[in-house]
Amino acid sequence: MKYELYYWPTIQGRGEFARLALEDAGADYVDVARLPEGSGGGAKALLQWMDASAVGHPPFAPPFLKAGRRVIAQTANILLFLGPRLLLAPRDESGRLWTHQLQLTITDLVAEIHDCHHPIAGGLYYEDQRDEAARRAGHLRRERLPKFLGYFERVLADNARGRQRCLVGSATSYADLSLFQIIEGLRFAFPRTMLRLEKTLPLCVALREHIAARPALAAYLGSPRRIPFNNDGIFRHYLELDG
């Protein structure tokens, strides 16, 4: 099956978590909004799908995935659908639910990271909420990041008793790819904070190295298909927010 991924064309954002799974699996897919508008792409194509009356279950916002007649929105929901099809989720129901649970926890962390630079409203510029952002980012650095990343370190440690280098079972899952993206994004947004935190997260760092070395993903990361981190996405680097 050929998949169609719909997300904003100039940022990684939440769509990158789906991109990583599709790229790692070598899936046949097209990143629709990154195509030229004259060939049915661009942000216009994305917005048309969101407003289309013929879509039975319309997405509230991107990312969303078109798979045959299905239109599936929300990052964790997309990965729940793709995981078994791309061999990036366990075969048993218990394992699939555990992987989904981890992805939902990552979704919570993504929201907190985003809100550190937009704590008042997403519709306001960062410059309109600097003071509030500084306070929120300090809380994120001191309390929330250690709590979230420490949790994933503990999950990896529990699974490593079987000498695994992944969060679930004995094979790489989409949750591993998503944790890789979290670490990459935080290194961009909070380099000083991560330099300190990573000393307490050896298993998370090892997972990041393991994922980065996977052949298909390494090829993607070194290609123009990987949109660079920038200050329009979820992970933004403002020196004053890094402590």
**Separation CA 192–CA 39 (nearest Å):** 43
For residue range 81-107, list pLDDT tens digits in order. 999 999 999 999 999 999 999 999 999
**Separation CA 14–CA 16 (nearest Å):** 5
| Residue 138 and residue 189 share a domain | yes
Query: C-alpha angle 127/230/235, rounded to 5°?
Result: 75
| Residue 198 and residue 111 share a domain | yes
**Domain tally for the chain?**
2
CB 157 within 8 A of CB 66: no
Q: What is the pLDDT of residue 148?
A: 98
**Separation CA 6–CA 9 (nearest Å):** 9
| Residue 185 and residue 105 share a domain | yes
* 3-class SS string, 126-167: HHHHHHHHHHHHHHHHHHHHHHHHHHHHHHHHHHHCCCCCCC
| Residue 190 and residue 122 share a domain | yes
| Residue 135 and residue 208 share a domain | yes
Residue 64 CA neighbour count, 13 Å, CB half: 21
What would you report as the CA-atom Rg of the chain, rounded to the nearest whole angstrom? 18
| Residue 187 and residue 138 share a domain | yes
| Residue 110 and residue 73 share a domain | no
| Residue 206 and residue 114 share a domain | yes
What token pair was written down for 34?
A: 């990154």
Q: What is the pLDDT of residue 162?
A: 58
**Separation CA 26–CA 218 (nearest Å):** 12
Which of 85, 115, 136 finishes a domain? 85
| Residue 106 and residue 193 share a domain | yes
Max CA-CA distance within the chain?
A: 53
For residue range 121-157, list pLDDT tens digits in order. 999 999 999 999 999 999 999 999 999 999 999 999 9
Number of H helices, E strands in the chain: 10, 4
| Residue 71 and residue 9 share a domain | yes
Q: Do the domain assignments include residue 40?
A: yes
| Residue 122 and residue 145 share a domain | yes
Residues 6+ apart with CB under 8 A from 216: 23, 24, 25, 26
Output the domain CATH number for residue 179.
1.20.1050.10
Residues 6+ apart with CB under 8 A from 26: 216
User: Which has the higher per-residue pLDDT, 56 or 227?
Assistant: 227
Predicted structure pTM score = 0.96
Closest CA to 30 of 65, 71, 78, 61: 65
Q: What is the pLDDT of residue 209?
A: 96
Mean of pLDDT values over 169-185: 97
Q: Do the domain assignments include residue 36?
A: yes
Q: Report phi then psi at 146, rounded to 5.
A: -60, -35
Range of the domain at 195: 93-214+238-242
